[in-house]
Amino acid sequence: MGWRVKNLKNKQKKLIHMSDKAILEINLNEEYKIKIEKGNQFEESIFHEVYKEALKNVIEIVRHYYSHKDSKYDDFNNIIAFTGERGKGKSSSMISFRDALVNKECDDNRVFFERQNDPEQYLKDKSFAEIEIIDPSLFRGGESLFEIILAKMFRKFQNRINEMDCKIDQTHKRELIQHFQKTFQNLQIINSDRKDIFKKDSIEALSKLAISSNLKEDFDKLVDYYLEHFDKKNFLIIAIDDFDVNIENAYKMLEDIRQFLIQPKVILLISCKLEQLSEALMIHYKNIKIENQEDKAKRYIDKLVPFSRRIFLPEVKKLEDIEFKILNDKELVFNNITGNFNELMIKLIFEKLNLIQTNNILNSNFIFPNTIRETQNFINTLLNVPNNQKLRKYIISEVYLLDIKFINILDDLENVSDDLFMITVLRKLLRLNREYIVRRRITEAYTKLSNASIKTTISLGDIYFLLEEFEKNINLEDYDSLKFLDLFKLYFSLRLLNFKGELNTLEITKYGFVNKYMNILPKEKGLKSRDFLQFFGTLDWNYDFLREEEVFILGMFVFYLGEGNEDYRHKLDKDIFVERYTRGILSPFAIWHNVNNIKTLSIILNFSTEGKFVKLNEEWFKNSLFIKQLYNPSFTLKIFEYIGEFRLKIVKDSLPDNYFDTVCLLFVYGIIYSLEKLEDLYKLEGLVKDFTNFPIINEMLKYFNQQIYFNKKINELNDKYKLNLEYDENSFITDELKHVMNEIYDSSIEETTDELSINTKRYLSDLYNEINKTKKFTSRFLNYRIERLKDFPGTEKIIDYFEEIKWKFNEEDDNLFNEYKEELKIYLKNLING
């Protein structure tokens, strides 16, 4: 924590406790105005280190003067450069420091110059004069920097002597005017045409050349007299703002500094981008035919502005432990707890747009601005909320700085209607990903998605899959791709927010937020998907003993109920749930969107839509923050990433021995872990609470936590969010529902594009279910099944196996029979799972 010294009435000094957090204050109506801070604000300024470094350099310059003032050698440097990109606050910090230094005895400034920053109080008895800020961008063309400085000094003197109460001694006044005249005459000679000098007789010409060679010495005497008898100060501060803007005259200005302004009682403050100065020098050297321009420019800058005298302005993106304030006409419109810049920008966007942005693989986000000025522009744009049109234009303007392929994508998307938006995005992302198809074993996914021609069959999961693949394959040095990805995620979210009509919203969630190629939950032994369970036949035989609420919960896991072996999304039939279904898919991820499908599912699965539990789920879905964020790829892809992290780092290999409990662990707690991480990283609130208030999730937590599962992180989450909910007879998940879902998983098969394989596995799946349900059977029962197997090509080895073991089932001993039956089930299960 920081401390400051304050003068008390009794002249004793006392340490006053101060906060160590910096304040970044943005006033929306002062976008192009230089913000001046007082010395007593420096401790809490984001430029705190800049001010401290500037003060340290001033002390060095002053100390050097007093320790070397009798030296004949000109071996010191009096330049302090505030350097950085435009908009970083160079002008604000330089002028604020200059004003505080000149007025360091004022109450507003005194605290900064006391012992905390100047332990020896070296500057306590030193005083500083100033002239007006010099802005080279306002030079009209004929003036030199040195002329402007002389003019500013004389103007200040002239204004003072014209005042009614001027107390300058007449003798001193005349002497000072003579110093000005002598310095200016020498400057005139230097700037005059040398031919004019040599037209004079030799003695007069030599005399003028001798006088002009003493210009630096005469200016030194002028400054001495000016400080002693006019300003009555020890040092003169000359501040030059935006030194690099006047590129045409940059070399001449640098030469003015080098030749005349390296003076013992002058302290030069300049704000500039040194790279731009270096470029101006290279242009100059190129014009005068000097080789090695870059090297020569670098050596020139290094000598004139040594590294130790360069003060680098902070990058706002790297600011840590700051308080972020936004004012509109001095009214506070946003004030947040302390955090780093990225956290606070994420918090601001969340408050204004209800969209959670996340950091990319470089732990940053290219949406966020780089400088204070850009931050002000971005916030002004962000707060222009209606339809988000201004923010969309901001994103497009940023994309226009990138590769042409990214510009073309955004141009095309801006001109496409809402109903064609998803399929257009799909095609654009496929084209972006095309170069990675050979390197990644996802050719089936790309083939399937490339053939998509019906706009209503494109899912958010497809878009997220392609974004995820693109992100995985981006080279970390590919700045354009990384920036485009961040910008595109926000652009995509804004477009979805502005979709017109409920129909479009329902269409894009019809196939959910996940597709089958993503593999979010780890496969069983690397083979069998836990994300999507494909089964054949109907569900009704499975849930005879389930309560109505359990049938509803089972229905919420249903991803698809249809017919045939074709890929369901390449059929013209738009229905994903049909009453006479012969094939289905279950997925835990279906509960994210299936509340939209309650009416249809209730007819097929025969449960009431009027039940209290159903209504609670509908109400939660309508108001859920979590559900709203799923339309935001920045959020959803981060959730998928953290679910994987949860499995690898937290759960590891310690998984339950059945599907339902594994889903409770990896899916439910994986999401809770992910949301907690987002809350902690970005100082957000309410995500975990909202998700665990989902009635279905609430019931899954009750059921899972009645069992014994030892995991330190799970226990921490349970304690932190009070998830140890009591399971009782009123809970809606029972062992029967768990058994049904485990049975479906055990009999499920992987989706494949091989039709013969699908037919074979479909029959084996039916056979597995039939054997599982039949308590007792004989070899005769299996003989009929063997005959059926002969209809499927490639089943010769399976038939041989059945012929070999069928006699075992004539066994009368029930224990032995059940043992043989389990062996057969395991054999079939392995065949089904590949």
pLDDT, tens digit, 9 for 90 and up, residues 656-672: 999 999 999 999 999 99
Section 683-690 average pLDDT: 94
Q: Which residue, 673, 635, 681, is CA-closest to 467?
A: 635
What is the pLDDT at residue 245? 81
What is the residue type of 498?
N
Q: Which residue, 309, 385, 313, is CA-closest to 352?
A: 385
Q: What is the spatial distance between Cα 779 and Cα 810, in angstroms, rounded to a whole number?
A: 6
Residue with tokens 């050097």: 64
Q: What is the spatial distance between Cα 38 and Cα 242, in angstroms, rounded to a whole number?
A: 21
The three-point CA angle 62-65-66 to 5° equals: 95
Q: What is the spatial distance between Cα 10 and Cα 26, in angstroms, rounded to a whole number?
A: 38
834 or 614: which leads in pLDDT: 614
The crossing angle, in degrees rounded to 10, of helices 779-789 and 755-773 is 170
424 or 444: which leads in pLDDT: 424
Q: Is 693 exposed, middle or buried (0-12, 13-18, 19+ CB in 10 A)?
A: middle
Q: Is the confidence at residue 566, as pLDDT, over 60?
A: no
169 or 104: which leads in pLDDT: 104
Q: Is the confidence at residue 645, as pLDDT, over 90?
A: yes
Sorting pLDDT into bands at 50, 70 and 90, what band is 815? confident
Q: Locate 57 and state its tokens.
A: 């350099």
Q: Which residue, 443, 465, 441, is CA-closest to 640?
A: 465
78 or 506: which leads in pLDDT: 78
Section 62-68 average pLDDT: 90
| 3-state class (DSSP) for residue 238 | strand
Section 756-767 average pLDDT: 74
DSSP class of residue 512? Answer: -
Q: Which residue, 691, 649, 646, 678, is CA-closest to 665?
A: 646
Section 712-719 average pLDDT: 93
108 or 524: which leads in pLDDT: 108
Task: Report all structural domains of the chain as residue ranges with CATH numbers, in order of start.
Answer: 34-141+234-251+265-314 (3.40.50), 402-511 (no CATH), 533-743 (no CATH), 754-832 (no CATH)
Q: Is the pTM of this model over 0.85?
A: no
Sorting pLDDT into bands at 50, 70 and 90, what band is 641? very high
What is the pLDDT at residue 365? 92
Residue with tokens 């109460």: 165
Q: Is the confidence at residue 438, as pLDDT, over 50?
A: no
Identify the H or E element spanning 386: none
Question: Are the beta carbons of 31 and 377 closer than 8 angstroms?
Answer: yes
Q: Is 439 exposed, middle or buried (0-12, 13-18, 19+ CB in 10 A)?
A: exposed
Sorting pLDDT into bands at 50, 70 and 90, what band is 316? confident
Identify the H or E element spanning 251: helix 250-256
Between 139-148, 500-509, 600-609, 634-643, the lowest mean confidence (pLDDT) is in: 500-509
Between 322-326, 422-426, 643-647, the lowest mean confidence (pLDDT) is in: 322-326
End-to-end CA distance of the chain: 62
Between 73-82, 582-591, 789-798, the lowest mean confidence (pLDDT) is in: 789-798
Q: What is the spatial distance between Cα 37 and Cα 99, in angstroms, rounded to a whole number?
A: 9
564 or 161: which leads in pLDDT: 161
What is the pLDDT at residue 385? 64
Q: Is the confidence at residue 544, as pLDDT, over 90?
A: no
Q: Is the confidence at residue 832, as pLDDT, over 90?
A: no
What is the pLDDT at residue 72? 62
76 or 629: which leads in pLDDT: 629
Q: What is the spatial distance between Cα 257 and Cα 259, in angstroms, rounded to a whole number?
A: 6
DSSP class of residue 133? Answer: P
Residue with tokens 């013969």: 756
Q: Is the confidence at residue 488, as pLDDT, over 90?
A: yes
Parallel/antiparallel/unpaired status of strands 266-272 and 235-240: parallel
Sorting pLDDT into bands at 50, 70 and 90, what band is 572? very low
152 or 336: which leads in pLDDT: 152
What is the pLDDT at residue 160? 87
What is the pLDDT at residue 733? 94
Q: Is the confidence at residue 519, as pLDDT, over 90?
A: no
Torsion of CA 239, 241, 243, 249, to 10 degrees: -90
Sorting pLDDT into bands at 50, 70 and 90, what band is 757? low
Q: Which residues contact 88 (CB under 8 A, 6 or more apart)?
A: 313, 314, 315, 316, 371, 372, 373
Torsion of CA 564, 551, 521, 761, to 10 degrees: -30
Q: What is the spatial distance between Cα 780 and Cα 787, in angstroms, rounded to a whole number?
A: 11
Section 185-209 average pLDDT: 60
Sorting pLDDT into bands at 50, 70 and 90, what band is 525? confident
What is the pLDDT at residue 742? 92
Q: How many CA atoms lie within 13 A of 757 on its CB side?
A: 10
What is the pLDDT at residue 613? 97
Q: What percent of the chain is predicted at pLDDT more than 90?
A: 44
What is the pLDDT at residue 800? 79
Question: Are the beta carbons of 510 and 459 closer than 8 angstroms?
Answer: yes
SS3 content of the chain, % helix, strand, coil (to 5): 60, 10, 35
Q: Is the confidence at residue 9, as pLDDT, over 60?
A: no
CA atoms 266, 269, 275, 281: torsion sign = negative
Section 493-510 average pLDDT: 78
What is the pLDDT at residue 250? 86
Q: What is the spatial distance between Cα 93 and Cα 86, in angstroms, rounded to a whole number?
A: 13
What is the pLDDT at residue 269? 97
User: How many other C-beta atoms lie within 10 A of the C-beta of residue 356?
Assistant: 24
Q: Is the confidence at residue 46, as pLDDT, over 80?
A: yes
What is the pLDDT at residue 202? 52
DSSP class of residue 217? Answer: H
Residue 2 bridge partners (DSSP)? 18
Q: Is the confidence at residue 755, as pLDDT, over 50?
A: no
Sorting pLDDT into bands at 50, 70 and 90, what band is 567? low
Q: Locate 79 and state its tokens.
A: 């330049």
Between 6-20, 282-296, 740-754, 774-788, the lowest mean confidence (pLDDT) is in: 6-20
Parallel/antiparallel/unpaired status of strands 533-536 and 558-562: unpaired
Section 810-820 average pLDDT: 83
Q: Is the confidence at residue 180, as pLDDT, over 70?
A: yes
